[in-house]
Amino acid sequence: MAGSQFGTILKISTFGESHGKAVGVIMDGLPPGMEISEPEIQAEMDRRKPGQSNVTTPRSEPDTIRILSGVFQGRTTGSPLAMMLSNTNTRPEDYNDIADKFRPGHADFTYQKKYGLRDWRGSGRASGRETAARVAAGAVARKWLADKGVKILAWTAAAAGIHCETFDEGCIEHNALRACDAGAAEKMLERVTELMEKGESAGGIVACRVSGLPPGLGDPVFDKLEAELGRGVLSIGAVRGIEFGAGFHAADMTGSEHNDEMDSEGFRSNNAGGIVGGISTGQDLFFRAAVKPTSSISHPQTTQNLKGETVQIVTRGRHDPVICPRIVPVVEAMTALVLMDRWLVQQATAGRL
Ligand SMILES: Cc1cc2nc3c(=O)[nH]c(=O)nc-3n(C[C@H](O)[C@H](O)[C@H](O)COP(=O)(O)O)c2cc1C
């Protein structure tokens, strides 16, 4: 399947389907000598894994990561680093009913049209399960960036139409939504639970901030930093949009409102979200990603079957009623992979940083 590779110097290839034997990733282009261990990657896997609350899918898997190659005596060798997770809690029978029906909002119709067949067990390649492999790779990139003082943090900024009004980093990992406002998180949980009871689902917004990034990172024109980040983040299932800094609100601002003035202390505001001309300003990099409501709902819907007939469908199986809390670690992973890759490109070309 074309399209499963990402990156310029740091290249990742993911493999595996939701209800196949395993999912995994091969990372090529890693510098030799990096200290890497399974437990530190496992810590990231544990944040992404399902079954952590009432508003994430009850599919429960240990998601134990195994490093298969590329590490010797605890250090990367410079050879491809392969990592794998077994799929231990598969229930393909949940999907028998949809083998010949296209679920609205899912990639069923489009995969069928493109390939002439599809793995209908739990969405196959289009499943959120594929992102486990990205999180494993992202953990390695994140560690490399952390050694350079770069910190990546994502959180749920809105879900089910409820927006966070305050920012408390300490509460993000302590509520089911991974929201940055404990009060808003309670309301989100209530609203999502009500929707679940009606067989419905919700969408939301995931925000991400990168601090400690030096100024001057990134390339102009086609490889602009926001273009690369946009590609990485928009490649995550269910992400429908991305905005940097003031984002779409910039369209309603005047030049003097939007321009980030400078003085001897540096920038006075950050409407640019830390990137100008495709290159980092050295301020916090900030973006928000729009997440659509989960397609799998138990509410009956009308669709087409393989014969082109109109049929009714009710989606069974285990699903996230709102995907935001599970997308948070995936956004962090894709951000880390883009930033490390662009850093390596810069070292190989412009020679600065
Ligand atoms: C971590 C993660 C978990 C997901 N869980 C579900 C889910 O339980 N049910 C569902 O319908 N979609 C889920 N999705 C979204 C689908 O993968 C996605 O909507 C589908 O592949 C169609 O792609 P598109 O929305 O990007 O067009 C999840 C995505 C991610 C990244």
Q: What is the pLDDT of residues 148-185, one digit of tens each?
A: 999 999 999 999 999 999 999 999 999 999 999 999 99
Amino acid 92: pLDDT: 65
Amino acid 316: pLDDT: 73
Angle of the 324-348 helix axis to the 225-234 helix axis, nearest 10: 140
Residue 318 CA to ligand 1 centre (angstroms) = 12
**Global pTM value:** 0.96
Angle of the 131-146 helix axis to the 38-48 helix axis, nearest 10: 130
Q: Is the CB of 295 under 6 A from ligand 1?
A: yes
Residue 263, Ramachandran bin (φ over 0: left; ψ between -120 and 50: alpha; else beta): beta
Percent of the chain, pLDDT > 90? Answer: 83
- Please write the tens of the pLDDT for every residue from 181-229: 999 999 999 999 999 999 999 999 999 999 999 999 999 999 999 999 9
Is the pLDDT at 266 greater than 70? The verdict is yes
Q: Is the CB of 238 under 6 A from ligand 1?
A: yes
Residue nearest to atom 30 of ligand 1 (CA): 128
Length of the chain: 353
- Please write the tens of the pLDDT for every residue from 279-289: 999 999 999 99
Amino acid 277: pLDDT: 97
Q: Is the CB of 202 under 6 A from ligand 1?
A: no
DSSP line for 93-128: GGGGGGTTBPPTTSSHHHHHHHHS----GGGGGGSG
Nearest ligand 1 atom to the CA of 236 is 31
CB 242, CB 231: distance < 8 Å? no
Q: How high is the mean pLDDT of the chain?
A: 93
Residue nearest to atom 28 of ligand 1 (CA): 128
Lookup: tokens for 37: 């261990």
